[in-house]
Amino acid sequence: MNVVVQEWERVLVYRDGRFVGVLEPGRRSVTWLRHRTVRVAVRPRLLVVPLQEVLTADGIAVKVSLTSTVRVVDPRTWHEAVEDPDAFLHAALQLALRDAVATRTLDELLADRAEVPAQLRAAVAPTAVRLGLEVDEVALRDVVVPAELRRAAAEVVTARAQGLAALERARTEVAVTRALANAAKLVGSNPGLLQLRTLQVVEAGGATVVLSADPAVARAVATGG
């Protein structure tokens, strides 16, 4: 009898309970008398470790989750080694994730988000081999810190922004004061500059010039347009 094997699967053939061989993709002929076949999908699939609470090295409870892309590389081992290979790998990923978080402080965990997946993949690789699997990719999906820490971080960011704004205002005031002081020194050493400035204001228009009884004193008062 013919068996059609899809590109994304392999078919295991057993005769009287003993392994005979693996059928590759295509149309294959199998003698069904005393034979049994098992189809094994070899295309990549996703394993998800949901949020779990773990204590970091500095005693902070965080919730972390991860995703992992795995595929079958040895169909016979995957089928024969254990009852539920994906469950075994899921447990291995869960334990490896707990170990990776427990050995890092919160700051280290957040800073090493790109390095933790590589550590997890290396940690579960021996288990994957025993199950006939290969772990192609591991990624941290969520790192959830306690709400009080999130509020504290937001307050720090706000305080830092307010401090920068206050510093910028102070710098501006210092610059204005310095400019006024320099202008006063310049007018004091060159009295004629004040008269020239008065003439510039008159020539520009939009101002009223008020002269005091003292001919040496003149000042321009802006009329506001």
Q: Are residues 152 and 200 both part of a single domain?
A: no
- The reported pLDDT for the residue numbered 217 is 47
Give 220's pLDDT tier (boundaries 50, 70, 90). very low
Mean pLDDT of 213-223: 45
Question: What span, in angstroms and rounded, lies between the C-alpha atoms of 179 and 181?
Answer: 5
Q: Are residues 173 and 102 both part of a single domain?
A: no
- The reported pLDDT for the residue numbered 215 is 47
Q: Are residues 205 and 136 both part of a single domain?
A: no
55-77 confidence digits (pLDDT tens): 888 888 889 999 999 999 999 99
Q: What 8-state DSSP symbol labels residue 49?
A: E
- The reported pLDDT for the residue numbered 157 is 55
Q: What 8-state DSSP symbol labels residue 212?
A: -
> For residue 221, is pLDDT > 70?
no
Angle between the N-to-C axes of helices 147-189 and 192-204, in degrees from 0 to 180, rounded to the nearest 10: 110
Q: Are residues 124 and 177 both part of a single domain?
A: no
Spatial CB neighbours of 42, under 8 Å, sequence gap ≥ 6: 8, 9, 10, 71, 72, 73, 75
Q: Are residues 115 and 182 both part of a single domain?
A: no
132 close to 72: Cβ distance less than 8 angstroms: yes
Q: Are residues 8 and 63 both part of a single domain?
A: no
pTM of the model: 0.63
179-201 confidence digits (pLDDT tens): 777 777 776 777 666 666 666 66
Q: Are residues 81 and 109 both part of a single domain?
A: yes
Task: Domain of residue 133: give its range.
Answer: 45-145
Least confident of 9-13, 18-22, 105-109, 191-195: 191-195
Q: Are residues 104 and 180 both part of a single domain?
A: no
What is the number of structural domains in the chain? 4
Q: Are residues 134 and 151 both part of a single domain?
A: no
100-152 confidence digits (pLDDT tens): 999 988 888 888 888 899 999 999 999 999 999 999 999 988 888 876 655 55
140 close to 117: Cβ distance less than 8 angstroms: yes
